[in-house]
Chain A
Amino acid sequence: MTALCLQGDLWLGNACLIRNLALDLPARGWSCLLGRSGVGKSTIARLIAGLPGAYRLDGRLQPSDGLPLAGRVAMLAQDAPLLPWADLVQNVTIGARLRGQRPDKDRAHRLLAQVGLAGMESRRPAALSGGQRQRVALARILIEDCPVVVLDEPFSALDTVTRLAMQDLAAKLLVGRNVILITHDPLEAVRLSDRAWLLGPDGADRLDLPETETPRDYHATTTLAAQANLMARLHLSSTARCAG
């Protein structure tokens, strides 16, 4: 159970990316950060995951329990790096092996079955499709059992149908964690999030979402209306910026 509070100005080099960030990311459920490319979404992902970069937060990133975040955040990015020389079980258990712990192979087999890759355990990543590779990366996150999971445009490289299937799978398997979804896809944001913000240079605007359960049905009128509203907001923010 780890809620996060992120406040302050985010800098990249000498340029201020986002001023007056104020995000409360609760311990359970999906928080979505939307925004156009270049706004600083991936920088926030690296900040929360504790990865090095040229960024600086003039403010604070604080877990609710006050303990250090290191080791409690897992991240799934667009092209998750799998080890080309290792089979799927070895790929899923790499975290334990890197820390010098005994890898739990039975659990890796169970998780690979849960993400729909039963029977492929001895394959190498090169023998998988893009969607299957992201499934392996998802299993690798699940085995780490981190309370905070950052998804940085995790399904953007996939075709539409595979993307919908992966969204449903992720929603099912990551339940009960603090999931931070970073995306530029309005439908993805509306389907999966419990709360969402639109990021811009002047901070984060809270967005309205339907009251229904996630993952939301993509034919439901409430979902479609929310998606259309979101598109309008994104479009508006981009035209405002071009005019300004």
Chain B
Amino acid sequence: MRWLSAPAPRALLALGFALTLWQIVVWLSGVPHFILPSPARVAVSLWDNAPVLWDHARFTAFNLLVGLAAGVVFGVATALNLALSPQARLMLRPMLIFAQAVPVFALAPVLTLWLGYGAASKIVIVTLVIYFPITSAFFDGLMRLPPALQDLAQMMQATPLRRLFLLQVPQALPALTSGLRLAVVYAPFAVIIGEWVGSSRGLGYLMLMANGRGQTDLMFAALVVLAAQSLILFAILEWFAKGAR
């Protein structure tokens, strides 16, 4: 059973087990396929609708990636500013906490109203949703410089900017990685909500349409594609985090 200790076979085994269980439930219960399609039906739908799925998946992936990039850039920039300037902390922190208290998902209809049915509204929703976890995690990391390193900076007469980039930022990278993990989990939620609220393209739109027409197998196929996107994002992040260590 040594081959079981490697991650890839373990993941495949778990997936295989879950799919088998799903198939057995469908067989035994006799649920109609428009309520719960069997994994086999979903696989067939994935194959048959591949061009459609690909087209919608590209739109969703674009929104996801641009939104993530914008959220990370804004979040990191805000955290650096907060760490550098006590005035900025005084002004911005209450605003940040207030912004966190507003459920951004609830703003999705307004954003669609303002920015239209295209990519812009989805990108802004993703950016807003991940902005806070990134800012908050990175800022906390930046402010948690161990006292001994604070002493070192003081004795070496460090300039504030160099203290930030040579001591605080490297120290805060693990915290930023935690923020990014949260962001990668939240971002697909955000993009789907955005596409549900008002869109003519994207996996969220496709799922809504398929559900409305009773094409539950297509809806599950879209879900599989979305899950694959999330997993790829997560894998890329873990690969980066490993490289940074």
Q: Which of A's residues lie within 8 Å of B, judged by CB?
A: 49-52, 70-71, 73-75, 77, 79-81, 83, 85-86, 94-95, 97-100, 144
Contact = CB atoms under 8 A, between A and B. Distances in A.
B184 to A, nearest CB: 23
B157 A81 contact: no
B155 A73 contact: yes
Contacts, number: 51
Contact of B155 (A74, A83, A86, A97): A74
A77 B163 CA distance: 20
Interface stretch (B108-116, B143-151, B217-225): B143-151
A97 B163 CA distance: 9
A51 B154 CA distance: 7
A100 B159 contact: yes
Given A71-B157, A98-B156, A98-B159, A81 B149 contact: yes
B157 A83 contact: no
B170 A51 contact: no
Nearest to B170: A85
Interface string B167-190: 100100100000000000000000
A73 B157 CA distance: 11
Interface in B201-235: none
Given A97-B166, A99-B159, 5 more contacts: A75-B151, A81-B152, A85-B173, A98-B159, A100-B162
Contacts of B149: 81, 83
Contacts of B167: 83, 98
Contacts of A73: 155
Contacts of B162: 97-100
A148 to B, nearest CB: 11
Chain B contact-residue range equals 10 to 19
A83 B145 CA distance: 11
Given A97-B162, A98-B162, A100-B162, A83 B170 contact: yes
Contacts of A77: 148
B148 A98 contact: no
B73 interface: no
B66 interface: no
Contacts of B151: 49, 51, 75, 81
Contacts of A52: 154
Interface of B: 146, 148-149, 151-159, 162-163, 166-167, 170, 173
16 contacts: A49-B151, A51-B151, A51-B154, A70-B157, A71-B157, A73-B155, A77-B148, A80-B148, A81-B148, A81-B149, A83-B149, A85-B170, A98-B153, A98-B163, A98-B167, A100-B159
A152 to B, nearest CB: 11
Contact of B156 (A79, A80, A86, A94): A94
Q: Which 4 A-B pairs have the closest CB atoms?
A: A98-B158, A81-B148, A95-B156, A98-B156
A149 to B, nearest CB: 11
Contacts of A98: 153, 156-159, 162-163, 166-167
A82 B204 CA distance: 50
Contact of A81 (B146, B158, B159, B166): B146
Contacts of A70: 157
Contacts of B158: 98-99
Contacts of A100: 159, 162
A191 to B, nearest CB: 26
A104 to B, nearest CB: 14
Contacts of A51: 151, 154-155
A75 B155 contact: yes
A75 B158 CA distance: 15
Contact of A99 (B146, B156, B170): B156
Contacts of A80: 148
B157 to A, nearest CB: 5
Given A77-B148, A79-B148, A81-B149, A49 B155 contact: yes
Contacts of B154: 50-52
